[in-house]
Amino acid sequence: MTIWIVFLGLFTMFFGLLFIFSPKFLTKMSEGLNRMVHQVDTQVMSNRVVVGAVLVILALFLFYYAYTMSGH
C-alpha cells in the first residue's frame, strides 16, 4: 500500500512542478493527448500556478503519509 502512495506522490509532484515551471511543455504534452482523450480545460491553465501549488502540497502530504504508514 505504501508503494502506491509514494508512486501517487511522485506522479502528483511531477505534474505540480510542470504546472508551475514548465507550462509550455505541459501544453505541448496536452495537445498530443488531446487527440486521444479531451482538451485541457482553459480554466485550469489560466490558474496553473494555483493548480501546480495544490498538486505539490498534495504530493508532500502523500509522501508524509507514506512515511508515517511505513512505521517511522
Domain total of the chain: 1
Report the alpha-carbon distance of residue 13 to residue 21 in Å, rounded. 12
Q: Enter the pTM of the model.
A: 0.60
CB atoms within 10 A of CB 40: 15
* Burial of residue 45 (number of CB atoms within 10 Å: 0-12, 13-18, 19+): middle
Whether the pLDDT of residue 11 is over 80: the answer is yes
What are the tens digits of pLDDT across the range 34-55? 766 555 667 777 888 999 999 9
E strands along the chain, which residues? none
Domain range enclosing 45: 2-69
**The three three-digit cell numbers of residue 52, written as one number:** 501546480
